[in-house]
């Protein structure tokens, strides 16, 4: 491991807004913060917004600056990536954003039912190979997790450069009769959406240099629907 990464890991330990629980703290059991984020971490009752697979935290940090009336939490397993967002928010004096180092599949160990108000999934790996289908962050196994931790009015945002993942997710929502609030295959052309969508991650900015299209979905999940995977073959989403 390079010295740069080691230095970032060490600095993460000094940040009061970075939470790096040991695996023993939540493996096969609920973490002590589950149901207690408002009381123990944010110290208020403002809505909690998650950025899943946050990387360098561009969305979490910039949205926190735009919306001081909300609490933001960037989640990623890569400590060196989290360091960038934590450092950035510190330098800019943004106090309503925290970072949690864990895997997305462990969300049920960290959040109680209805504890979260909003979820952002920004440029995740589309996992196009069929054998990796269950690793897609909009696979029904993940959607069922979001279904539980989101409150009744909770919204999910998927912003991706993958038309495959966009079509796959849209098919799941439509086949399960879930409410799609916004949908576009070309975000930066035509209809304008709220300014959060103009925030660009580091990788999105690089990608846009080739003048590609960015897709976007905003949707809600009904609490009582038993979500099922679409029968459509993956090839149809290409």
Taking the C-alpha atoms of 128, 110, 195 and 215 in order, what is their torsion angle to the nearest 10 degrees? 10
Q: Is 125 a catalytic residue?
A: yes
Whether 66 contacts 195, CB under 8 Å:
yes
Q: Which of 30, 125, 161, 222 is catalytic?
A: 125
Residues 43 and 35: beta-carbon distance below 8 Å: no
Contact 58, 81 (CB under 8 A): no
Q: Strand, coil or helix: what is 142?
A: helix
**Token pair listed for 135:** 């690793």
Query: 216 forms bridges with which residues in the sheet?
Result: 159, 184
Say which residues have a Cβ less than 8 Å from residue 57's Cβ, sequence separation at least 6.
51, 74, 76, 81, 82, 84, 85, 86, 88, 89, 97, 99
- The set of catalytic residues is 125
């Amino acid at each position: 491991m390079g010295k740069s990464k080691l230095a970032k890991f060490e600095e993460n330990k000094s940040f009061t807004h970075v939470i790096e629980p040991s695996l023993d703290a939540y493996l096969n059991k609920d973490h002590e913060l589950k149901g207690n984020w408002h009381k123990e971490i944010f110290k208020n009752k403002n809505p909690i917004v998650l950025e899943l697979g946050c990387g360098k935290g561009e969305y979490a940090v910039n949205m926190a600056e735009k919306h001081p009336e909300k609490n933001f939490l960037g989640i990623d397993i890569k400590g060196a990536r989290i360091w960038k967002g934590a450092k950035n928010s510190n330098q800019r004096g943004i106090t309503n954003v925290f970072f949690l180092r864990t895997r997305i599949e462990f969300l049920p160990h960290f959040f109680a039912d209805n504890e979260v108000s909003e979820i952002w999934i920004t440029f995740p790996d589309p996992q196009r190979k069929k054998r990796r289908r269950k690793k897609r962050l909009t696979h029904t196994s993940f959607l069922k997790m979001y279904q539980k931790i989101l409150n009744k009015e909770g919204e999910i945002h998927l912003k991706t450069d993958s038309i495959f993942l966009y079509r796959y997710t849209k098919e799941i929502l439509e086949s399960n009769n879930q409410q799609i609030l916004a949908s576009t295959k070309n975000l930066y052309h035509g209809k304008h959406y709220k300014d959060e969508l103009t925030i660009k991650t580091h990788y999105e900015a690089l990608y846009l240099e080739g003048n590609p299209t960015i897709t976007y979905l905003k949707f809600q999940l009904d609490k009582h629907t038993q979500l099922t995977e679409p029968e459509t073959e993956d090839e149809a989403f290409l």
